[in-house]
Structure 1
Amino acid sequence: MGPRPGQKTVLITGYVFQTQSVHVIATARNPAVLSEMAALGMTTLPLDVTNEESIKTCHDEVAKLTGGKLDILVNNAGRTHTHPATDISIPDVRETFETNVFGVMAMCAAFADLLIAARGLIINIASLAAITPYVFGSVYCASKGAVTSYSRTLRLELKPFGVRVMVAMTGTVRSQIASKTHRTLPPGSIYERVRGIFERRLTFSQNNATVDTETYARKLVAKALAREWPLILRAWFGRPDWLGAGGWAGKVWLSTWFGEWLLDFVMYRMIGMKKLEGVLREEERQRKLK
C-alpha cells in the first residue's frame, strides 16, 4: 500500500515513527521483522545502511512509490558499543562507525535529491552520549559525537535548498538492548577487578530514568510534524534544530550550563568509578605491606 494523495512520506532506518498523518516507509536488513508494520498499512523495504547497493535499491523503490519526493528521512539505525577504551577491538569499532556514522552520511547523500524535491526534513537520531562522559561507552560516544558534528554542517549546506536537519539528542529509552549479546572484558583487562561495575553498565540505559519507546516516539513525531518557526524561536516552538528526548535529557542539557566538570562528577560516581579508586588504593596498600 502506498501513500494517499497529498500524504507526506517518511522513510525510517529502524523504527520510531507512527502516525495517521504520514505514510511510513519502514526498513530493516530483514524485512520479515517488519511484518506487523506491513499489516498496519506501512510500506516495508529491505535496507542495509552499510551497503551502497542496498541504499541505491531502496532509494529507487522510494522514488517510485512517492513520485520522486521524500518529506522526512529518519536515520535511526544504530549499534550499541559498551567496552572500556583500553579493551576495544578496532575491527569491532569500525563496524559500529559503519552503522552509526557512515550509514547516516550515506543515507543523507543518497536521498538528498528526494528531500530537496519535497523541501523536506532529515532527523538524525543521536544521543546524549555525544556530550556526556558515558563511562565504558567511548566508542559509542565518539560515533554519536560524529553524527552531531556532521549534522550541524549538513544543516547549513542544505539550508539553501529548503531542507531542514533536526538532531534528536536521545536519552535513556526502552529498547531490546538488554536482550542482546554483550561484549565481555578480555583476559588481562585492567577493569577485571571491578567486573561487576562493567556488567551493570551494560544495561544502564534500561534501568535509569528509562522512558518507554512510545512516549519517546510521540514526542519525536510531534516535533517533526510541527510547523516552521523563525530560527530564533525554534528551540521553543515548531521544529527544533536540536530535540532533547528520553530519560536524563532535561538534566543533561541543564548541566551543560554549569560546565563540563558537573557531568564528569556525576557520571564518575554514578557508574561506580570511585569504587575502582578504592580497589586500587587497597592494592597499593597490600603491595607496600609485602
Structure 2
Amino acid sequence: MSRKTKFALVTGCGRGGIGEALVTEYASRGFHAIATVLPTESSEHLVGAGITVFPLDVTQEASIESLKKSINSLTDGYLDILVNNAGICYTMTAIDTDVKQVQLMFDVNVFGPMRMVHHFHGMLIRSSGTIVSISSIGGIVPYVYGSSYNATKAALQHWSNTLRVEMAPLGVKVLTIISGEVGTNILKRDADRELPEGSFFSPLAAEFKQHVKRVPDTTNRFVYAKNVVAQSVKTSPPAWFWYGKTTTVIRLLDTFWFRTVWDGMFWGMFNFDKLKAAHALRNA
C-alpha cells in the first residue's frame, strides 16, 4: 500500500461528540479516517460520511486486540495519528462518590488510553506518528462536583507528559489537548443524577439538579476539531494545546495567580454560603 495514504484513528466517535467531529475533520484533510464506537452504538452517522468504523470498548483488552488486527490489515502496519478521545463523566460531590462509578470512569478515561498506546505503539513508531490525548480544564481547576472526573483528566495529562518525553527518541510526538467547554452530549449520562439521601450537601439539592441538567456556553465541536486537528498534523506540535470556551482565562489564572484563586470563584458560583449557613444551623 502506498504511503501516500495517511491513517488517523479516533476513539469514542458516537453521534454528537468530539470524536465524531475530529474524525470528520481528519477525513476532510485527506486522511484515511478510522473511527471507533462502542459495540452497542450506531455507526450510521459515520458510515454515511465515508468513514471506516470499527467497534471498540477501551476497557476490554480483547476488544483492543481485535481492533489492532483489523487496523494492521487495513493500514499494512502503519498508523499516523492516534487520538485517545473516548471518555465518560461522573458528577458528584467528593464525599458522596460511588467509587465503583469512578473505577469505571478511570478504566475508560485513563486506562483506556494506556491500553491503546500499549497495543498500537509499534504502528505509531513505524509511521513516526502522533498520539493525541483529549484532556480537559477539569484536570487543571477544582471544578465543583467534578472531583473524580477532574482526577481522571489530571492523571491523563501527567501520564501524557511522561509519554511525550519517552516517545521522543522513537520519533513519536505526543500532544495533550486541554479542552474548555465544548458542545457535546457527554453530560447526558449524568442528566438525572441526584445527591444521595442524607448528604451534607442536601441543602443544595435543587442547585445540584440544575447543574447536571445545565446547557453550558460552549465552543462548537466542529470548530474545536478544526483547531485541534491543525495542531496534531504539525511537524512539531506543542506539548499542550489549550482550546475551547474559558481556556484563555483559566490558563492565565493558573499561570499567574495563587492556587486558591479558584476557591472563592467556585464558592460564589455554587452558592456555598447557603451550604455553610445550613451546616451552621444544623450544628447549632
Task: Give the TM-score, by structure 1 length.
Answer: 0.88
- Partner of 2:83 in structure 1? 74
Are 1:155 and 2:153 counterparts?
Answer: no
Equivalent residues in 2 for 1:214-253, closer than 5 Å: 214-228=222-236, 239-253=237-251
**CA RMSD of superposed structures (Å):** 1.8
Query: Of the two structures, which has the highest relative contact order with CA contacts closer than 8 Å and spacing of 6 or more?
Result: 2
Q: Which moved more, 1:96-105 or 1:19-28?
A: 19-28
In the other structure, the counterpart of 2:150 is 141
**Separation (CA, whole Å) in 2 of partners of 1:74 and 1:261:** 33
Q: 2:203·2:274 contact (CA, 8 Å) conserved in 1? A: no
Q: What does residue range 1-290 of structure 1 map to in structure 2 within 5 Å?
A: 6-14=4-12, 15=19, 16-17=21-22, 18-19=24-25, 20=28, 21-30=30-39, 33-180=42-189, 181-204=191-214, 206-207=215-216, 209-228=217-236, 239-256=237-254, 257-284=256-283, 287=284
SS of 2:242's equivalent? strand
Distance in 2 (alpha carbons) for counterparts of 1:283 and 1:78 = 39
Q: In structure 1, how many angstroms separate the alpha carbons of the residues matched to 2:186 and 2:117? A: 26
- DSSP 3-state at the match of 2:159: helix
What is the CA–CA distance in structure 2 between the aligned matches of 1:98 and 1:263, rounded to whole Å?
28
* C-alpha displacement of 1:153: 0.7
1:170 Cα offset (Å)? 0.9
How far does residue 129 in structure 1 lie from its aligned partner after superposition? Answer: 0.5
CA-CA distance at 1:277 after TM superposition: 2.0
Q: Distance in 2 between matches of 1:112 and 1:92?
A: 29
Distance 1:193 1:148 in 2: 34
Distance 1:27 1:254 in 2: 35
The percentage of counterpart residues that share the same residue type is 33
Segments of 5+ residues of structure 2 without an aligned counterpart are: 13-18
Q: Could you tell me how far 1:282 is from its partner in structure 2?
A: 4.4
Distance 1:216 1:159, change over 3 A: same
Aligned twin of 1:232? none
Decide which moves more: 74-83 or 21-30.
21-30
3-state DSSP of counterpart to 2:184: coil
Give a deviation string over 1:113-150, Cα, whole Å, max 9, x none: 01000000000111100111111111101111110111
Return closer, same or farther for 1:276/1:32 CA change in 2, 3 Å cut-off. closer
Structure 1 counterpart of 2:15:
none
Partner of 1:234: none
Which sits farther off after the overlay, 255-264 or 159-168? 255-264
Gaps in structure 1 of 5+ consecutive residues:
229-238
Quote how far apart the aligned CAs of 1:221 are: 1.2
Distance (Å, rounded) in 2 between the aligned partners of 1:267 and 1:22: 42
Query: What's the TM-score, normalizing by structure 2?
Result: 0.90
My pick for the range that moved more, 87-96 or 44-53, is 87-96
Cα deviation 1:220-253 (Å, max 9, x = unaligned): 111112332xxxxxxxxxx211011111111100
| Contact 2:192–2:213, Cα closer than 8 Å, also in 1 | no
Amino acid at match of 2:222: E
User: 1:31, 1:44 within 8 Å by CA — same for their partners in 2?
Assistant: no
User: Do the aligned partners of 2:133 and 2:156 also contact (CA within 8 Å) in 1?
Assistant: yes
Measured in 2, the distance between the counterparts of 1:69 and 1:128 equals 32
Q: Are the equivalent residues in 2 in contact too, given 1:201–1:271 (CA < 8 A)?
A: no
What amino acid sits opposite 2:230 in the alignment?
A
What is the letter of the counterpart of residue 174 of structure 1? G
Q: 1:109 to 1:126 in 2, by over 3 A?
A: same
> 1 CA distance for matches of 2:95 and 2:224?
33
The one-letter amino acid of 1:109's match is H
Give the superposition deviation at 1:177. 3.2
